Amino acid sequence: MADHNDFGKIAEDLAADYLLKNGYKILLRNFRYQKAEIDIIAEKDNYIIITEVKARSTDFFMLPQEAVTKGKMKLLVMAANQFMQENNRNQEVRFDIISVLKDQNGALNIEHIADAFEAFDAN
């Protein structure tokens, strides 16, 4: 497995631990539907939280969260709709981004952007 894939897996594990420590219940990880993948599906305060984890070893070109494009948002919304339908859920859905960025000392910094976008932003 390539180093960037290892770093992505580490970032997802870190994000899941962060969510658990902050009172979220992890329902599912790496939910796939067609071309879409949701990194983490969690629940808190009667919301279903669709979480995209973005990791970068540097912010030289862009911040990790800036890599969530309209196309990615559209795929996340499509997959979220499928998850809700398959699991007969009728709660409100929130879309979050967790950014994991390595600093110059190699430490990993987490930024949780709650309610990062709305489903209609993907249109």
pLDDT tens-digit map of 6-24: 878 889 999 999 999 999 9
pTM (2 d.p.): 0.88
Q: CA-CA distance, 105 to 5, in Å (whole number)?
A: 21
pLDDT at 69: 80
Residue 24 belongs to domain spanning: 3-102+111-122
Answer whether residue 122 shows pLDDT above 80.
no
Task: Provide the strand spans (E) within the chain.
Answer: 25-33, 36-44, 47-56, 92-102, 108-117
Q: How many residues does the chain have?
A: 123
pLDDT tens digits, one per residue of 58-79? 655 555 566 678 889 999 999 9
pLDDT at 120: 72
Answer whether residue 119 shows pLDDT above 90.
no
Rounded to 5 degrees, φ, ψ at 98 are: -115, 120
Answer whether residue 1 shows pLDDT above 50.
no
Mean pLDDT over all residues of the chain?
A: 87
Answer whether residue 27 shows pLDDT above 90.
yes
Domain total in the chain: 1
Q: What CATH number should be reported for the domain holding residue 8? A: 3.40.1350.10
Sign, CA torsion 100/103/106/110? negative
Angle at 111 between CA 61 and CA 93, to 5 degrees: 110
